[in-house]
Amino acid sequence: MIDLFFRGGPVMYPLLACSLLVLTVIIERLLFWVTVEMNRNRQLIEAVLELGRQGDWEAIRGKVSGSNDFIIRVLVSGILHREFSMTKAMEATAAEEIRNMRRYMGVLDTMITVAPLLGIFGTVIGIIASFEALGSAGIGQPQAVTAGIAQALITTAAGLGIAILSVFPYNYFNSKVEKAVLNIEKYATSLEIVYEKLEGNLEMPKS
């Protein structure tokens, strides 16, 4: 691998930087999602909705204390601002949560595009150098040209390899974000329905 790296020419250095950046983002996002899953508490979410049906908002505040579940944070935001705009409060908090989930995804997306282009750029430079060698050595030494082209293609292979290995985690992390968005919408809608029903019952005239 070290031999291939040095044979690939100067473009291998930015490609190495790209690969290290991709690896760093993948590890960081994996740790992030592991932490998210560890903090998930579906039973607590159901308990919050049940207390909401009863209108016991103070009990909810005590029950969710210390929770790091992102859905709980969205629901609590709505509950705290229920007298003003529960929906907008939850939307704002949800947007912040989704922003955190999408953090550094743009880096992976960029590397998927940039790495192959860098590889092709390195190949073009290598082919130019090969034709220059052909002009100097003459047609009687084709090995000088073929060796140069083979060297040039190393950068293309490296760039494609980085892009291919980036696509899988990129799609995986995107699927996790989409699933989180659906869960937020599901439970936020449930809380809104619970609150509207509760408010409707309070406004009904007593017979």
The pTM (predicted TM-score) of the whole model is 0.83
Of 154, 151, 109, nearest in space to 18 by CA: 109
Residue type, 99: R
- Answer with the residue of higher pLDDT: 160 or 51: 160
Answer whether residue 164 shows pLDDT above 90. Answer: yes
Which residues, in sequence order, are CB contacts of 120 under 8 Å at separation 6+? 155, 156, 159
Of 153, 143, 163, nearest in space to 122 by CA: 153
Q: Which tens digit of pLDDT belongs to each residue from 85-100?
A: 888 999 999 999 999 9
Residue type, 157: A
**69, 39 Cβ separation under 8 angstroms:** yes
Q: In terms of C-beta density within 10 A (0-12 exposed, 13-18 middle, 19 or more buried), how is residue 158 classed?
A: buried
